[in-house]
Amino acid sequence: LTLRGASTEAPGGDPSLLRELRSLVGEGSVLDGDAPGYAADESEGSGLRGSPDAVVLPQSTAEVARVVGWCYAHDVPLVPRGGGSGFAGGAVPLEGGVVLSLERMKRVLQLDPGLWRMRVEAGIQTAAVRRIARENGLSFPPDPGAAEQSHIGGNIATNAGGPHAFKYGVTGAWVTGLQAVVAPGEVIDVGGPIRKDVAGYDLKSLLIGSEGTLGVITAAWLRLIPAPEVMLPVVATYRGTTEGCDAIRRVLEAGIVPATLEYLDAGSLAASVRSLPGGAAPDAAFLVISEADGERAEAARLQAELSDVLRPGAVDVRALQARSDVEELWRWRDGVALAVSSTRGGKLSEDIVVPLDRLAEAIDATVEIGRRHRLEACSWGHAGDGNLHSTFLVDASDAAELERAAQAAEDLFDLAARLGGSISGEHGLGWLKRGQLERQWAPAALRLHEQVKEIFDPKGLLNPGKKLARLVA
Ligand SMILES: Cc1cc2nc3c(=O)[nH]c(=O)nc-3n(C[C@H](O)[C@H](O)[C@H](O)COP(=O)(O)OP(=O)(O)OC[C@H]3O[C@@H](n4cnc5c(N)ncnc54)[C@H](O)[C@@H]3O)c2cc1C
């Protein structure tokens, strides 16, 4: 077999590879390597594109197992793919091989509203899971921003977060069981429709966040909760980072548990304010969104408390009531990344985490790092989790600027490590941050990280090069 990604083979890939894959899963489930839509993910703005030799669209776990088994027997790299909304290049087939897209595996396998749980195939869209839960009076709280594009399998593989992770936790907190195909092509089930399980080492949690490097997730048991009756946000603006971060601290000190605690700094607010529902005062240079949720009377009481706590030092505090206003606000919030990116046509956006008491420092340092590298910079994100989307604005066609942005990102990772934080709070390491874990983990921990990979994937064929703990062994 000749792999195009690893060589200069002509587009379309090796015919024998396509033939053999088709014999495993059927003619209609294997696309040529140059089929549009499988060479990149949302990191494409950084110039990252791969070159698959074939794209397989399996329809069942058994078919996934056949493909993994075949790839393992023939030393062919395999890249699992969800909705391709990742920001770290995790689904990009940089070494060629087979892209295994779960897009046809999107069935609800079991729905038990009375027991607050459902089982789904990995390729179901995040938005569909949330919709089905809602239609049954329930909630699946994880709410990563690209819900119409991302799959639940991709969310699990990256352990995705989102605005409501502050109160409800990240995706992994809502997964009670996983089915996965592991090397050399075997199906495992860990956990299930059970709420507690400490019987073995926590393989489920190892697979969660493993970014396709340990196995292919094919199905998941998800935990649901009764949907809150109302969600009542408070939007507050401030003249600067200090006033805004002081307000965020006061929310916690007051012992209030909001569902979300989000922020936008001056730059990201300037980029997105034109479409902010209700607008903002000219001197607003920092925005905080917090939200009370739950039963109507209790949520209203919490919302009033939040307004009081957020008011000192604020330019403006607005408590939203109407459901349409709330939906409009969150639609706007989902569009912030795009608004920022359209300022200069491109951006390099990271997702560092710092301890909450270092948030203001990290927000200011992001802008300062940008200045040092002659790049406009800003940040927004999940303030309550200390999770910043520190961003450098670029013209994606300017190679020198992209290079400066990459260097700025290095400084950002140093900053996160120095402040006792993490280089990634939700997007994972993928390709773009491979090797960076070395900044925050001791050698013994890095060794264990590498050994876990070797045990699951002795041939190194599952999403090769991604999520590496360090670049030099
Ligand atoms: C506008 C926008 C907003 C976003 N907002 C958020 C946010 O708020 N929070 C957040 O955490 N992320 C956010 N993201 C990033 C992205 O949506 C998440 O990382 C998401 O979880 C990726 O899911 P996906 O299905 O698109 O996976 P992909 O991008 O296809 O893949 C991501 C990684 O998971 C692996 N993978 C995918 N499916 C499987 C599987 N079935 N088995 C094993 N491995 C698999 C891939 O190999 C890859 O390494 C946002 C992205 C965009 C474009």
Q: What is the pLDDT of residues 376-385, one digit of tens each?
A: 999 999 999 9
pLDDT band at 24 (very low <50, low <70, confident <90, very high): very high
At 371 the pLDDT is 98
- How far, in Å, is the centroid of ligand 1 from the Cα of 355? 24
Please indicate whether residue 144, judged by its CB atom, sits closer than 6 Å to ligand 1. Answer: yes
- How far, in Å, is the centroid of ligand 1 from the Cα of 162? 12
CB 462 within 8 A of CB 78: yes
Average pLDDT over residues 107-134: 98
At 7 the pLDDT is 38
Residue 156 CA: distances (Å) to CA of 7, 86, 366, 395, 404: 32, 12, 29, 32, 32
The residues pairing with 293 across neighbouring beta strands, listed in sequence order, are 231
- In sequence order, which residues have a C-beta less than 8 Å from that of residue 104 and are 6 or more positions away? 29, 57, 58, 59, 123
Q: What percent of the chain has pLDDT over 70?
A: 97
pLDDT band at 13 (very low <50, low <70, confident <90, very high): low
Please indicate whether residue 389, judged by its CB atom, sits closer than 6 Å to ligand 1. Answer: no
- How far, in Å, is the centroid of ligand 1 from the Cα of 82? 7
Crossing angle of helices 359-372 and 399-418, rounded to 10°: 150
- Which backbone phi and psi does 153 adopt, to 5 degrees? -60, -40
- How far, in Å, is the centroid of ligand 1 from the Cα of 133? 20
At 9 the pLDDT is 43
Average pLDDT over residues 215-235: 98
Atom of ligand 1 nearest to the CA of 170: 11
Please indicate whether residue 337, judged by its CB atom, sits closer than 6 Å to ligand 1. Answer: yes
At 59 the pLDDT is 98
- In 258-325, at which residue ranges do the beta strands (DSSP E only) sit? 260-264, 286-294, 314-319
At 97 the pLDDT is 97
Name the average pLDDT for the chain: 95
Q: Which of 130, 148, 150, 164 has most ligand 1 atoms within 8 Å of its beta carbon, as the pocket-test mutant?
A: 150
Atom of ligand 1 nearest to the CA of 86: 29
Cα–Cα distance measured from residue 193 to residue 176, given in angstroms and rounded to the nearest whole number: 6
Please indicate whether residue 146, judged by its CB atom, sits closer than 6 Å to ligand 1. Answer: yes
422 in helix, strand or coil? strand
Whether residue 259 has pLDDT greater than 50: yes
| Largest Cα–Cα separation, the chain | 69
Please indicate whether residue 89, judged by its CB atom, sits closer than 6 Å to ligand 1. Answer: no
- In sequence order, which residues have a C-beta less than 8 Å from that of residue 441 and are 6 or more positions away? 449, 469
At 14 the pLDDT is 75
Cα–Cα distance measured from residue 421 to residue 329, given in angstroms and rounded to the nearest whole number: 29
For 92-118, the pLDDT digits (tens) are 999 999 999 999 999 999 999 999 999
Average pLDDT over residues 43-51: 85
At 11 the pLDDT is 41
At 3 the pLDDT is 53
Tokens of 214: 């340990």
Residue 11 CA: distances (Å) to CA of 4, 36, 54: 7, 12, 10
pLDDT band at 46 (very low <50, low <70, confident <90, very high): confident
Whether residue 196 has pLDDT greater than 60: yes
Crossing angle of helices 15-25 and 61-73, rounded to 10°: 150
- How far, in Å, is the centroid of ligand 1 from the Cα of 302? 33
Average pLDDT over residues 70-97: 97
- In sequence order, which residues have a C-beta less than 8 Å from that of residue 250 and are 6 or more positions away? 309, 310, 312
Choose among 73, 15, 45: nearest CA to 402.
45
Cα–Cα distance measured from residue 99 to residue 79, given in angstroms and rounded to the nearest whole number: 5
Cα–Cα distance measured from residue 247 to residue 13, given in angstroms and rounded to the nearest whole number: 57
Of the candidate ranges 1-5, 344-348, 447-451, the one whose mean pLDDT is the lowest: 1-5
Q: Which of 59, 85, 347 has most ligand 1 atoms within 8 Å of its beta carbon, as the pocket-test mutant?
A: 85
Average pLDDT over residues 275-296: 96
At 70 the pLDDT is 97
At 10 the pLDDT is 40
Q: Which residues of 394-409 are buried (b: 16+ CB within 10 A; e: fewer)?
A: bebeeeebbebbbebb
Residue with tokens 């050399």: 184
Q: What is the pTM of this model?
A: 0.95
Q: Position 127: which residue type?
A: A
Q: Which of 158, 164, 422, 468 has most ligand 1 atoms within 8 Å of its beta carbon, as the pocket-test mutant?
A: 158
Cα–Cα distance measured from residue 381 to residue 427, given in angstroms and rounded to the nearest whole number: 13
- In sequence order, which residues have a C-beta less than 8 Å from that of residue 317 and are 6 or more positions away? 234, 235, 236, 307, 310, 311
Please indicate whether residue 211, judged by its CB atom, sits closer than 6 Å to ligand 1. Answer: yes
Choose among 275, 460, 261: nearest CA to 359.
261
Whether residue 255 has pLDDT greater than 60: yes
At 44 the pLDDT is 82
Please indicate whether residue 81, judged by its CB atom, sits closer than 6 Å to ligand 1. Answer: yes
Average pLDDT over residues 214-237: 98
260 in helix, strand or coil? strand
Strand 387-394, strand 346-349: pairing: antiparallel
In DSSP notation, 52-107 reads -SEEE--SSHHHHHHHHHHHHHTT--EEEESSS--SSSTT--TT-SEEEE-TT---
Average pLDDT over residues 159-178: 97
At 179 the pLDDT is 98
At 329 the pLDDT is 97
